[in-house]
Amino acid sequence: MTVSRFSLAAAAVATFILAYAAYAARLPLERLFPFYRAFAGLLFEALPFLIAGAVLSALLETVVPDRFVQRLAPRGKAGGILFGSLLGLALPICECGMIPVVRRLIRKGLPPFVGFSYLAAGPVLNPIVFASTLTALGAHSGLVNARFALAFAVAVALGLIAAFAMGGRDPLRANGGGTAAASSFHDHDHETMFGPRGKGGSLPERMRAWKSKAAHIGSHAAEDLRDTGNYLIVGCMFAAFLQTALQPEQLAAAAGHHFFTHLFMMGLAFVLSLCSTADAFVAASFAAYVPQGALLSFLVFGPMFDMKTLLMMLAVFKSKFVLLFAFLAVWLVLAGSVLFEKWGWV
């Protein structure tokens, strides 16, 4: 309930401030409706995925033993990065819900560079996004194939660089639930509390154990929602403001220079903060204005790193690791999209 109450309070405060500003400037209230629609659209588009990610994260924390996660990830760097880059096929979560899951997996012993590979590739390399991209860009089959190929290549390259740059350092914030600083929800041993594999004991004891397990799942999910939900709301507010401030004709005029167009579309993807399941439909509307390579930049960079993702990552990861992720994502996507366009792969 914490996030719901905060959401209502933030929306009420934003509504009051904007309404007062419109009144002071003698603006008709209708001028604010596009902002409210954009904010509500972004928030309610992202919130279900954030909740799904928080619940999945809570299930991982409560049900899945640490040893299982440690055995699941390959030991070598190359195998681990390949595993992380393709993990989205098994865990198809939107970028809004991935951050709590990655945090929980790192807590359980997953190497951080594997988690970063999953953060980069997971929002694109999953069956839901593939279906939506194919539907929106069916007439541009080369762009569809290039999106998934470039996302995979960037995730592998980012994981390799991060593996050597990060070493064995913990990227999680202490107050974000790093392995050394667990919150009050983590001061227990799940296997001890619920018995080995949930067996043994009388029926009332097993019922109490399952009730206790369900309570801990709810506690973990609420913790993740509290940590990341507040930042999601702030990110959606900024993105909605910029969405309504930028006019389509201004966007088309700005996308003029060939190289600049790639950077412009990446910046636009960061600002719009679209869900990866819907961004292909927006990209299709730009097909008449910008080259295919720039659209590829938009489709690959946006799911990896946008405004709301930045704020949520800062709530979970240390700032220097977020900056490393952002720097690598920008330059790898830019170089890859330019090369794909130059070589005629898009």
pLDDT value, residue 250: 62
pLDDT value, residue 19: 59
pLDDT for residue 207 is more than 70? yes
Q: Across-strand partners of 317? A: 172
pTM above 0.85, yes or no: no
Structural domain total, the chain: 1
| Alpha-carbon span 108 to 285, nearest angstrom | 42
Higher pLDDT, 69 or 345: 345
Q: Which of 35-39, 136-140, 202-206 has the lowest mean pLDDT?
A: 202-206
Q: How many CB atoms lie within 10 A of CB 142?
A: 14
Q: How far is CA 329 from CA 143, 184, 191, 265, in A?
A: 19, 34, 39, 14
Q: Name which of 163, 79, 70 is nearest 113 in CA terms.
A: 163
pLDDT value, residue 3: 44
pLDDT for residue 40 is more than 60? yes
Range of the domain at 82: 2-342
- In this prediction, residue 181 has a pLDDT band, given cuts at 50, 70 and 90, of very low
Q: Across-strand partners of 172? A: 317
**Residues near 246 by beta carbon (within 8 Å), at least 6 away in sequence:** 271
pLDDT for residue 339 is more than 80? yes
- Region 288-315: what's the mean pLDDT? 90
pLDDT for residue 5 is more than 60? no
- In this prediction, residue 51 has a pLDDT band, given cuts at 50, 70 and 90, of confident
- Region 173-178: what's the mean pLDDT? 63
Higher pLDDT, 60 or 199: 60
pLDDT for residue 18 is more than 70? no
pLDDT above 70 covers a percentage of the chain that reads 77
pLDDT tens string 209-260: 777 777 778 887 887 777 677 777 777 777 777 667 766 556 666 665 567 8
pLDDT value, residue 9: 60
Mean pLDDT of the chain: 78
- Region 277-299: what's the mean pLDDT? 83
- In this prediction, residue 185 has a pLDDT band, given cuts at 50, 70 and 90, of very low
Higher pLDDT, 296 or 94: 296
- Region 38-60: what's the mean pLDDT? 79
Q: Name which of 9, 6, 3, 188 is nearest 100 in CA terms.
A: 3
Q: Which of 21-30, 34-43, 71-80, 270-279 has the lowest mean pLDDT?
A: 21-30
Higher pLDDT, 128 or 300: 300
pLDDT value, residue 322: 95
| Alpha-carbon span 130 to 127, nearest angstrom | 5
269-291-341 Cα angle (round to 5): 95
pLDDT value, residue 303: 93
Q: Name which of 227, 228, 225, 239 is nearest 306 in CA terms.
A: 239
- Region 136-162: what's the mean pLDDT? 92
Task: For CA atoms 127, 90, 310, 304, give the dihedral sign.
Answer: negative
- Region 72-101: what's the mean pLDDT? 85
| Alpha-carbon span 147 to 135, nearest angstrom | 14
pLDDT tens string 95-145: 778 888 899 889 888 899 999 999 999 999 988 788 888 888 887 779 999
Q: Kindly report the three-state secondary structure assignment for every residue of 268-288.
A: HHHHHCCCCCCHHHHHHHCCC
pLDDT above 90 covers a percentage of the chain that reads 28
pLDDT value, residue 291: 84
- In this prediction, residue 318 has a pLDDT band, given cuts at 50, 70 and 90, of very high
pLDDT for residue 184 is more than 60? no
| Alpha-carbon span 272 to 321, nearest angstrom | 23
| Alpha-carbon span 282 to 287, nearest angstrom | 9
